[in-house]
Structure 1
Amino acid sequence: MTDLPVSQRPRERLCALGPQALNDSELLALLLGQGRRGESAVDLALALLAEFGGVAGLASARPEELARRPGIGTAKAAAISAAFQLAARARNGPERLPPLSRAADIARAAWPLFAGARVERLLVLICDSRNRPRQRVFVAEGAIDEVAVPVREILNTVLRHDGRAFALAHNHPSGDPAPSLDDRRVSTLLAAAASTVGLRFLDHVVIAGEDWRRAAPLEESVP
């Protein structure tokens, strides 16, 4: 980017005009910092956007996918993933979420964090004593159709963040939100485990695209 006139360099333009004045490739180039031999940071940014289908595709790309691209590597891939995660948290900060009074509230709070996910991920929504979300933490990631449920890690995560209650959400990349028998068993197991350490288990939802279903514990009838 040093080959460009000062007035045309992304960093200088951002400082003078604000980030809204920059296009997608220029903003990404600032994250990358530098390109590689024969390819400027802007050129590298353009190639990345083309390869992943624009900003939305890039946001859902996994760090290891980004790192495989020549000129990116682990550090730049991590910076890109971190930037998109910060943006998602800014848009959907838990401090703006209402108390989790029902399954629909849990789905609404969790859904933005699963956008573009291509493997199953397990999210814990950590709440205070009034069921108000304090933190949303991913605790596991699995294959295309399964994710291990680390019960001890879930409970430790809630306690580590001074939670008093928690809910669980995971996604079905297949597009079918219907909970499996194992999903319902997880709900039953977590409800029992939570009570032994003084926590309140609120509910468990399965998200698939824009749809969701409640994974009711086994002792409850299917809604």
Structure 2
Amino acid sequence: MPKPLINDLPEEDRPREKLTKWGPQALSNAELIAIFLRVGVTGKSAIEVAQELLDTHGSLRSLGRANVKEIAKQHGVGPAKAAQISAAFELGLRSAKEEMNKASVASPKEIYTLMSPILSHQSCEKVFLLLVDTRLKHERTIELSHGSVTESICHPRDVLHHALLHQSYGFILIHNHPSGDASPSEADKRMTQAIREAAELMQLRFIDHLIIGSPNNHRDAYYSFREHGFFN
């Protein structure tokens, strides 16, 4: 028996109708993506095409990292629908950035909550600088570098330049590990040490360096140099 298409489903089970009645949180990832796809292909509903797209990329996180050409390769998607899906991820990213203004970053957990929506979908390493006021409230976010899959480049002068220019009380360094393992590399440790020494000379407060990965049963979502005693 052929599988039902979306129009064959009871009205209350269709993604758009469910979203209107219950809100977006009531929909699965596949159902949310299906709203952008609108229609499926012969023998497959938009929900099934959406689920295949998620299965191909392995997770919503990985799909968010994919570019339009990669998404468009999926049967039943194509360039136009791929552009809509990519735009949806970008809107979510920009919304997360707007939430930053004056957010508290007094603890590693708060820093992770603030930055993980921006960094968790990145396919290469990026380094961000958070400038904070005396109450440890976020003032400004600056992207310092855009590296390779396994390495980012950040020099102490780049960090101190922005902190001094904006007359900030202190700063926090954040970067991601696309592999998902937040454990610091030797290069991460050397970079942190060099920036700490430079900050001390300039009498700037280096609050923390956070590495963002992805959590699973065997690893943490982030690594905080402060929590591990580096700044004690």
Give the TM-score normalised by structure 2: 0.60
Q: Secondary structure at the match of 2:194?
A: helix
Structure 1 residue 48: Cα displacement: 1.0
Partner of 2:11: 7
In the TM superposition, 1:19-168 aligns within 5 A as 19-33=24-38, 41-53=46-58, 57-61=59-63, 62-64=65-67, 65-70=70-75, 71-73=77-79, 75-82=83-90, 85=93, 89=96, 94=100, 98-100=104-106, 106=111, 110=115, 114-115=119-120, 119-134=124-139, 138-149=143-154, 164-168=169-173
Partner of 2:190: 184
Aligned pair 1:175/2:186, yes or no?
no
Matched-pair contact (CA < 8 Å) for 2:61–2:120: no
CA RMSD of the aligned region, Å?
4.7
How many angstroms apart in 2 are the aligned matches of 1:157 and 1:15?
45
Matched-pair contact (CA < 8 Å) for 2:155–2:191: no
Distance 1:14 1:97, change over 3 A: same
How many angstroms apart in 2 are the aligned matches of 1:11 and 1:85?
23
Structure 2 unaligned blocks of 5 or more? none
Structure 1 unaligned blocks of 5 or more? 216-220
Q: Which amino acid aligns with 2:223?
A: W
Percent identical residues: 27
| 1:42-73 Cα shifts (integer Å, max 9, x gaps) | 343122122233xxx12233132435435243
Q: Which amino acid aligns with 1:60?
A: S
Q: Which amino acid aligns with 1:81?
A: F
Aligned pair 1:212/2:223, yes or no?
yes
Structure 1 residue 26: Cα displacement: 1.8
How many angstroms apart in 1 are the aligned matches of 2:138 and 2:42?
47
Distance 1:150 1:33, change over 3 A: farther
> How many residues were matched structurally?
211
Q: Secondary structure at the match of 2:7?
A: coil
